[in-house]
Structure 1
Amino acid sequence: MGVVAKRSSMTFYSNGEDHYSHRVRIVLAEKGVAVDILDINPANKPEELAELNPYNSLPTLVDRELVLYASNIMMEYLDERFPHPPLLPVYPVARAESRLWVYRIDNEWSPLVDTIMAGEDAKAIDAARKRLKEDFTAIAPIFAEKPYFMSDEFSLTDCCMAAILWRLPRLGIELPEKSTRYLQEYMGRLFERDSFRESLSETEREMR
C-alpha cells in the first residue's frame, strides 16, 4: 500500500493492524506525502528494521538520514515538514491543549486498546472493553459543540481517535446508539474523509 505511487526517499514501516501505525498513515495521507509504505508482519520483521531502529519496533519512519520510532514524534515531524494542511493549531495555548489531548488518549485509551488486541488475559480484556465503552459514551456529548475533537478543524488528535474508533468492531465494542449519537456523527465525519479511506491497510478494510 502506498499513499502516493511514485518512488520516494521516505519509507514507512507499518503494522497494518496496529492503531499507532494507522494514525501516522492518516497524517501521511492528509499531507499527500510521497512515501513507500511497507506492511510488516510483526512476527517476521526484516533484518534492516533492527539496524534502523534500536527497539526493532513498528511503526518506524525513515526520511533520508532521519529515523523516527515513536508515532507521536512522527506525526509532529510530518506536520512541521509538510505544513499544509496544518494538523496542529497555530496559537501556543491551543497547540498545547491539542498535544495534551493526544497525551491523554495515549495514557487512558491506547493501553486499553492494546490489552484487547493482545488477546492474552480474558479478565483484563473484559475490563478494558467495559472502560472504553463507558468512556466513549461519556464523552459523546462534546461532539455536539464542535465537528472535531474539541476543535473546529481536523487535527492530530482526530488522527489518533480515528484509528481507535475504526477498530471498535474488532475490539468487540458496540456503543449504545441513542446516547452516543454525536460521537457516531463524529465517526462518520472521520471515516468519510478521503485521506482516511486512503490510509487504510488491507487488514483494516476488513475490520468493518
Structure 2
Amino acid sequence: MNLTNRLRNVLTLFSAPNDVQCHQVRLVLAAKGVAFDYFPVDPNDPPEDLIHLNPFHSVPTLVERDMVLYPATVISEYLDERYPHPPLMPVDPPSRARLRLAMLRIELEWLPHVNAILAGNKTQQEAGRKRLRELLAASVPLFKATKFFVNQEMSLADCAMAPIIWRLESLGVTLPKDGQVIEEYGNRIFRNPGFIRSLTDQEKRLREVPNF
C-alpha cells in the first residue's frame, strides 16, 4: 500500500498510541464527530511517510489532501475552524485569547512534568509528580469557577487538560485534599461517549473506563 498516495484523499492522523498531545487531537476529532484514518506511530521510530511529510518527524501530524499540520495546538484550532460544529472556541476575541493562554500554560507548565515522569530518571520523576500536585492544587479555583476548564462549555482547553487528568493515576499523581472538584470535572468529560472514542487501547488500560 502506498500510504502517501492515499493521504491525498483522506484525513489522516499520525499519532502515538499513548501521548497527551496526540490524545488531545483525537479528542478534538471525536468531539467533532469527524471520521479519519488513524496511523499509529512509534515516536522513536517514525515511518518514512511521516519523515517525508513532517520535517520534525513529530506526532501528532494531521494530513488533509496536500496540507500537513503540526503541532497539536495548530491542528486543534484548524479542526475547530474546519469543522465548526460543535464549536470548541468562544466567539469573542477576549475569551478566545484567554483560552489560548490557558492552552499555552498547559503546554509549557504541565506537559514537561508529565514527560519527566514518563521518560526521566527517578529524581526527575519525583520532581515531576511534586510539581504536578502543586499545579493541581493551584488550579482548584479554576475548576470550581466554571463547569469546564476556564469555560462554561467544553472547549479546546478541555481537550488539552482532560488527557492529563486521565493519566494522573498511572503517573502516580494524587489529587490535593480539596481536589474532589477536579475528579468531578474529569468524570464529567470521561463519561462522554466522544471521550471514550478518543482513547486508544493503550490509553483505556491507564485507568478504569467509566460507564455512561
TM-score (norm 2): 0.90
- 2:6 corresponds to which residue? none
Distance, in Å, in 2 between the alignment partners of 1:32 and 1:47 is 29
Distance, in Å, in 1 between the alignment partners of 2:139 and 2:61 is 31
- 1:4 corresponds to which residue? none
Structure 1: stretches of 5+ with no match in the other structure: 1-7
Shift of 1:111: 0.8
Distance, in Å, in 2 between the alignment partners of 1:52 and 1:38 is 13
Q: Which amino acid aligns with 1:129?
A: R
Alignment of 1:34-49 (within 5 A): 34-49=35-50
- 1:207 corresponds to which residue? 206
Distance, in Å, in 1 between the alignment partners of 2:127 and 2:48 is 37
- The percentage of aligned residue pairs carrying the same residue is 46
Distance, in Å, in 1 between the alignment partners of 2:51 and 2:21 is 19
- 2:143 corresponds to which residue? 143
- 2:121 corresponds to which residue? 121
- 1:162 corresponds to which residue? 162
Q: State the SS of the aligned residue for 2:62.
A: strand
Shift of 1:142: 2.8
Q: State the SS of the aligned residue for 1:166.
A: helix
Q: Which amino acid aligns with 1:47?
A: E
- 2:32 corresponds to which residue? 31
Alignment of 1:1-208 (within 5 A): 9-118=10-119, 120-176=120-176, 178-208=177-207
Distance, in Å, in 2 between the alignment partners of 1:129 and 1:117 is 10
Distance, in Å, in 2 between the alignment partners of 1:116 and 1:165 is 14
Shift of 1:205: 0.3
Shift of 1:134: 1.7
Distance, in Å, in 1 between the alignment partners of 2:100 and 2:141 is 21
* Aligned residues: CA RMSD: 1.2
Structure 2: stretches of 5+ with no match in the other structure: 1-8, 208-212
- 1:5 corresponds to which residue? none
Shift of 1:107: 1.1
Q: State the SS of the aligned residue for 1:195.
A: helix
Q: Deviations over 1:21-59 (max 9, x none)?
A: 000000000111120011222233211110000011111
Distance, in Å, in 2 between the alignment partners of 1:193 and 1:167 is 17
